Structure 1
Amino acid sequence: MTLTPMQVVRGVLAGVAASALIGSAAAAPINLIENGSFEDVTQANGTWNIYTKNFAGWQVNKTYGVELRNNVAGAAFDGVNFVELDTTGNSWISQTFDTTIGQTYKVSFYFSPRAGVAADSNDITALINGATALTASGSGVGASGNVWKEYSFNFVAAGDLSTLGFKAGGLSNSYGGSLDNVSVSAVPEPSSWATLLVGLVGLGTITRRRMR
């Protein structure tokens, strides 16, 4: 059987559409952050510790360190570990990762105020290359354990390396908010499949007109 030009175009369109759907379903964002859920350091259940040395991808404030918890004063959002940045005083962590100049990236993380602690002691500020991106805050008064909330923002890379940082804010009193499940992923560009589909639709329109 000889196919008409229109049947050929329709067959190609159907195949491309199916491939695009399969590709979009299979592709998952790649997290550029190492140890984003702080699971690469072993912390026994029901214990905590302050680390003043860099660990598993993260640069750590050497003076105050970072407090890693496993099921202490709340549970983790992802896995078993989470961190607090107000250790014996307000502290910070950061991580540098590869980026492409001009590419847009999405930063996502989960924050919880500490149970029983007012908002003025719970702030955690996210920074990109040292500049404030946003501040997560909230009151833990009346809460029981952690109450996690996702925060996110986009940034455009200005260099081939970018640095994401988090620092505790508010009262520096060893009682502060918690951080977990940090991720950075590239925001997808307009799909080449979609561009191809538009072109093929145009081809189909031209073919249909010529057949009239």
Structure 2
Amino acid sequence: MKLALTGAALALTITATPASAATNLLTNGSFESGFTGWTQSLSGMPVGTAPVVIAYNQASQYPTGAFGEAIGTNTVTSASPDAVGNSLAYFSSDTANPHSLSQLVNLVAGTVYNIGFDYYVPRNGYDNPFDATLGFTVGGTAVGTTLSAGSPSGTPVASWQNFATSFTATSSGPQSVAFNFRGGGVTAADFGVDRVYVTAAVPEPGTWALMLFGFGAVGVAMRRRRPLLQMA
């Protein structure tokens, strides 16, 4: 019974101990260092339409603000390991050309990952005549639902919202995590984005407890069967 008791003790310890904070596999997920760690693909966009990093509560014109609209500090609940900080990424569309913001992360095949970000739809962008979409891809494959903001199908967001989902990596190695933004015409809706994260999913404490109890039961069974094997 010694092995079984040891497994039970470990299980109780894990159950009583909070899970450690996950690590963000992305660099600079809160854009506090501008676009450091990120790669922009502008697809032939004219100057003055690229994504920019702006400050919260900054009622100035592009490229230091959201065309005069101050975006309030992000207070939404998120699973991101990163703090909100003072900055956000701002996607505006004065062109119909698509553009993206991406970063390579090392993934392990078969591992489940949590992925998400916070987003805001400025009112001035929503009032533009065309819709805009913001998609999220991993390794070129769409993850979750493409967000839509603007007219006629979108809805203005008066506060910060959170997008979160999970996926299972199908291959190992560096893979691109990317935002893909496209306006439906000139001019279109805008998006603010903050606290982007990719974290490896960690089993809940209760799951670890069940696993350890199972290991303990297997060990006890093997100890009880061993004399029979020796007598044969």
Per the normalisation by structure 2, the TM-score is: 0.65
Q: Does 1:28 align with 2:21?
A: yes
Shift of 1:206: 9.4
1:33-44 aligned at under 5 Å gives the runs 33-41=26-34
Structure-2 change in CA distance of 1:11 and 1:153 (3 Å):
closer
Asked if structure 2 preserves the Cα contact closer than 8 Å seen for 1:168 and 1:176, the reply is: no
Alignment counterpart, residue 194 of structure 2, candidates 160, 167, 180: 180
Structure-2 change in CA distance of 1:171 and 1:118 (3 Å):
farther
Shift of 1:131: 2.6
In structure 2, the partner of 1:50 is none
CA–CA separation in structure 1 for the residues paired with 2:122 and 2:132: 7
Asked if structure 1 preserves the Cα contact closer than 8 Å seen for 2:11 and 2:208, the reply is: no
The answer for unaligned runs of 5 or more in structure 2 is 59-68, 75-83, 225-232
In structure 2, the partner of 1:75 is 72
CA RMSD of aligned residues (A): 3.2
CA–CA separation in structure 1 for the residues paired with 2:131 and 2:4: 62
Shift of 1:189: 5.9
Identity of aligned residues (%): 17
Shift of 1:34: 0.6
Asked if structure 2 preserves the Cα contact closer than 8 Å seen for 1:136 and 1:151, the reply is: no
Q: Does 1:113 align with 2:113?
A: no
Asked if structure 2 preserves the Cα contact closer than 8 Å seen for 1:85 and 1:167, the reply is: no
Shift of 1:114: 1.9
Q: Does 1:125 align with 2:110?
A: no
Structure-2 change in CA distance of 1:68 and 1:175 (3 Å):
farther
Asked if structure 2 preserves the Cα contact closer than 8 Å seen for 1:70 and 1:82, the reply is: yes
Shift of 1:21: 2.6
- Count of equivalent residues: 186
Alignment counterpart, residue 103 of structure 2, candidates 68, 85, 95: 95
Deviations 1:60-85 (A, max 9, x none): 13544312121233124222211122
Alignment counterpart, residue 56 of structure 1, candidates 9, 19, 36: 36
SS in 2 for 1:195: helix
Give the counterpart letter for 1:131 in structure 2.
Answer: T
Shift of 1:193: 5.5
CA–CA separation in structure 2 for the residues paired with 1:129 and 1:165: 8
Shift of 1:97: 1.0
Give the counterpart letter for 1:18 in structure 2.
Answer: L
CA–CA separation in structure 1 for the residues paired with 2:105 and 2:173: 8
Structure-2 change in CA distance of 1:22 and 1:171 (3 Å):
same
SS in 2 for 1:169: strand
Deviations 1:26-80 (A, max 9, x none): 4222110111111123xxxxxxxxxxxxx31100135443121212331242222
Q: Which has the higher contact order (CA 8 A, sep 6+)?
A: 2
Structure-2 change in CA distance of 1:164 and 1:103 (3 Å):
same
Structure-2 change in CA distance of 1:18 and 1:65 (3 Å):
same
Deviations 1:82-133 (A, max 9, x none): 1122254343200111111232222111122222415953421111122322
In structure 2, the partner of 1:84 is 90
Asked if structure 1 preserves the Cα contact closer than 8 Å seen for 2:110 and 2:168, the reply is: no
Shift of 1:175: 3.8
In structure 2, the partner of 1:156 is 169
1:14-25 aligned at under 5 Å gives the runs 14-21=8-15, 25=18
In structure 1, the partner of 2:81 is none
Shift of 1:164: 0.7
Q: Does 1:66 align with 2:51?
A: yes
